[in-house]
Amino acid sequence: MKRVLITGAAGFLGSHLCDKFIDEGFYVIGMDNLITGDLKNIEHLFKLENFDFYHHDVSKFVHVPGDLDYILHFASPASPIDYLKIPIQTLKVGSLGTHNLLGLAMAKQARLLIASTSEVYGDPQVHPQSENYFGNVNTIGPRGVYDEAKRFQESITMAYHRFHGLETRIARIFNTYGPRMRLNDGRVIPAFIGQALRGEDLTVFGDGSQTRSFCYVDDQIDGIYRLLMSDYSEPVNIGNPHEISILDFAEEIIKLTGTDQKIRFEALPKDDPMQRQPDISKAKEILDWEPKVNRAEGMKKTYDYFKSLSKEELHKSAHKDFSEHNRK
Ligand code: UDP
């Protein structure tokens, strides 16, 4: 049985990856420090014989007994609210954490895939963004802790590949959504759906003319899996190119939820990218991959998930805070 280590296993993408690799017949070792992840995302796996879990922070030395064939590094805060609340941990998991996992991959002769991001393109001046665009990032802005950690992560990963001959893969992940997103992570989809379910106004930042392109999680996981199994070591964009303005998207959510919520305009956060759309020609050509789930279908599944949460969860989750972790 092939063995895979997935970091960030209790998070949104990490937990879906655990499910995917279990379905593909792997022995899956999940790892998470549970700062932003939640064990309820993977609790259905604990009864399986081919699943194991380590509660560990990968920015500290990582030890895993036995062989490993693959490592997927998905541990990281991944929303603007998290970067503001836990900036140091965000920097450490992308830099020190990646270094530790590269060392582990060397020791185990495992192939490592890192979760990079469209944030490496910053507030892009080229549209749509293809992999050869170098980006427009403010190193010292609020998003800098994430963007620069991820850019460093790509650099150190390529250095290990070139210098040590390590097998590495780099997925540049664009906005992705679906069940198990954290309701209080501040990202636009859980924010809007949570607001609609609580009967609050939908908060559109700026005038809502900024755009995003949302990829349903099943498509994202399929793309990542194909990339891992490919022989391509340079970065590949994985995302859905179907672009929409945030204002139009808010209106779509009001229709979807059948609520009569109003839209409230709030200040645009600093360095909020004005437009984002992946150029996925490379993924099409190399991985024979493109998204299959359209937004109406994906949003319905996502809304059904959020509707199934208890009232308590819906309200409590708006107030989770990170003060305990910030003291560390
Ligand atoms: N956004 C918004 N209202 C919210 C949360 C987010 O208008 O309550 C906007 C945000 O300013 C950004 C877009 O939605 O332009 C996507 O934000 P998100 O945090 O989901 O992702 P990212 O900016 O990292 O792509």
Q: DSSP string spanning 105-158? A: HHHHT-EEEEEEEGGGGBS-SSSSB-TT---B--TTSTTHHHHHHHHHHHHHHH
Per-residue pLDDT of 249-285, as tens digits, reads 999 999 999 988 899 999 999 999 999 999 999 999 9
pTM: 0.96
For the Cβ of 184 lying below 6 angstroms from any atom of ligand 1, the answer is: no
pLDDT of residue 278: 98
Distance 198 CA to ligand 1 centre (A): 19
Residue 322 has pLDDT above 70, yes or no: no
Overall domain count for the chain: 1
Contacts 24+ apart (CB under 8 A), 292-300: 292/219, 293/216, 293/218, 293/219, 294/242, 295/214, 295/216, 295/240, 295/242, 295/244, 295/252, 297/216, 298/177, 298/178, 298/214, 298/216, 298/217, 299/177, 299/189, 299/252, 299/253, 299/256, 300/256
Q: How far is the CA of 56 from the centre of ligand 1 (A)?
A: 30
Residue 317 scores a pLDDT above 90: no
CA-wise closest residue to 250 among 208, 215, 214, 213? 208
Residue 177 annotated in active site:
no
Tokens representing 112?
Answer: 């490592």
pLDDT digits (tens, 9 = 90+) for 9-45: 999 999 999 999 999 999 999 999 999 999 999 999 9
Domain of residue 281, residue span: 3-327
Work out the pLDDT band at 319, boundaries 50, 70, 90: very low
Mean of all residue pLDDT scores within the chain: 95
Do the beta carbons of residue 73 and residue 58 sit within 8 Å? Answer: yes
Residue 328 has pLDDT above 70, yes or no: no
Ligand 1 pocket: which of 13, 82, 205 to mutate (most atoms <8 Å of CB)?
Answer: 205
User: Does the Cβ of 272 fall within 6 Å of ligand 1?
Assistant: yes
- CATH number of the structural domain spanning residue 158: 3.40.50.720
Closest ligand 1 atom number to CA of residue 81: 19
pLDDT digits (tens, 9 = 90+) for 140-164: 999 999 999 999 999 999 999 999 9
**Interior CA angle at 177 toward 238 and 194, to 5°?**
160
Please state the separation of Cα 221 from the chain's center in Å: 11
pLDDT for residue 312: 87
Nearest to 82 by CA among 168, 145, 153, 3: 145
Residue 241 clears pLDDT 90, i.e. is over it: yes
